[in-house]
Amino acid sequence: MATQKANFAHDRAWNLSDESVTPEVDYLRRREFLRIFGLGLAASAILRVDSRATAIGFPDSLNGDYKLDRIKLTPEDSVTGYNNFYEWGLSKDQPKEQANRGWRTDPWKIEIGGLCANPLKLGVEELVKTVGGIERRNYRHRCVEAWSMVIPWDGFPLAKLVDLAQPKPEAKYVKFASFFDPTNCPAQRSNEFPWPYTEGLTIDEARNELAFIATGLYGKPLRNQNGAPIRLVVPWKYGFKSAKSLVKIEFVADQPKTLWNEMAPNEYGFYANVNPNVDHPRWSQKSERIIGAGFFSGKQPTLMFNGYEKQVGDLYAGMDLRKNF
């Protein structure tokens, strides 16, 4: 019985094999880097995060349980040093710096509301406790810009949050809104983008076992640049669907407005499922660059639904994916 259960767990799509991912960089190297370059501010931000870790029940970064030498993932410094977060800069190395110039993500309240029987407003730690703690999942991550990572997320299934809120039958979509703080986030003082960042899922997508709410990665609370303290992770969709630093989750009847869809509806569809057969109008989606594997890391073919077709294919049965891109 026990073996059966273990096998079942192993079949899960988030249990990526060790071979499919790239080696982890020694955690100490990053520390050394910080020390050498004397980035006192960044270092103190990390220390603050680390002390918070124990409060939410995260394993300490030195916890031997993870055996980092055996798990091959996108190196942590690539995950935390290369990503899009337009609130904190337009290039992918800016968020790491700009999101850590005094922006406070603790304390933080998240509101769950709209068409549901049990609206809530609570702190992240409280929410984690309410849904029964966190689990770790290795997910593929595919950006619409044709690069990819494999990331060990810590968090809980979005379905648990949906169950907790008890949406009403007329709730057909879930809307996600990121923070809006023009005082501390200079980019949000300009109206180039319709801030705050918003995203959306259908209620069925939100209930799918893969849809995930992350509060950490690599066994540590999310860094500011990765969407601290709580974010969405939808691994079968392009990365921009996974809204960061959430302050509101709302159950709604109609398809919500989403930021990139509003900016360029012909380029960023509401569904935004990873699909190698439907190119972005300006670049190909057939292949993706593997991040963090050095100069000649090369490209690999992109998989339908980012490799999660088995888990999510049914959601889109009979749908014209070229039209509903």
Partner 1 sequence: MKILSKVVGHKLFALFVIVGIGLWFLLIPAFTGGLGANPLEKILHQTGEISIWTLGAVLGLSPLRVLFPQSRLIAAVNRHRRMIGVSACVYALLHLSAHVLYEGSWDRFVQSLSKPFIWYGLSGLSILVVLGLTSNNFSIRTLGGRNWKRLHRLAYVAAAILIYHQAIAGKGHWQIARWLLFPLAALQIARLTKILAVKWSASSRTMAILGAATDSP
Residues that bind partner 1 (CB under 8 A): 75, 77-78, 81-82, 84, 86, 90, 92-93, 144-145, 147, 192, 260, 263, 282-284, 286-287, 289, 291-292, 294-299
The DSSP symbol for 59 reads P
- Identify which of residues 79 and 312 has a Cβ nearer to partner 1 in the complex: 79
Kind plus residue range of the DSSP H or E element containing 232: strand 231-233
Q: Of the two residues 275 and 311, which places its CB atom closer to partner 1 in the complex?
A: 275
In whole angstroms, the minimum distance from the beta carbon of 283 to partner 1 comes to 6
What is the C-alpha separation between 290 and 275, in angstroms, rounded? 17
Q: How far is the CB of 312 from partner 1 (least distance, A)?
A: 24
The dihedral built from the CA positions of residue 261, 264, 269 and 275, taken in this order, carries a sign that is: negative
For partner 1, the closer CB: 96 or 248: 96
Contact 159, 208 (CB under 8 A): yes
Between 204 and 267, CB nearer to partner 1: 267
User: Least Å distance between CB 10 and partner 1?
Assistant: 30
Task: Say if residues 15 and 308 touch (Cβ distance below 8 Å).
Answer: no
Q: How many residues does the chain have?
A: 325
Nearer to partner 1, 74 or 311 (CB): 74
Task: State in angstroms the smallest separation of the CB of 9 from partner 1.
Answer: 31
Alpha carbon separation from 90 to 75, 85, 181, 316 (Å, rounded): 22, 7, 18, 33
Question: Which DSSP category does 314 fall into?
Answer: G
Q: How far is the CB of 12 from partner 1 (least distance, A)?
A: 27
DSSP H or E segment with residue 288? strand 287-290
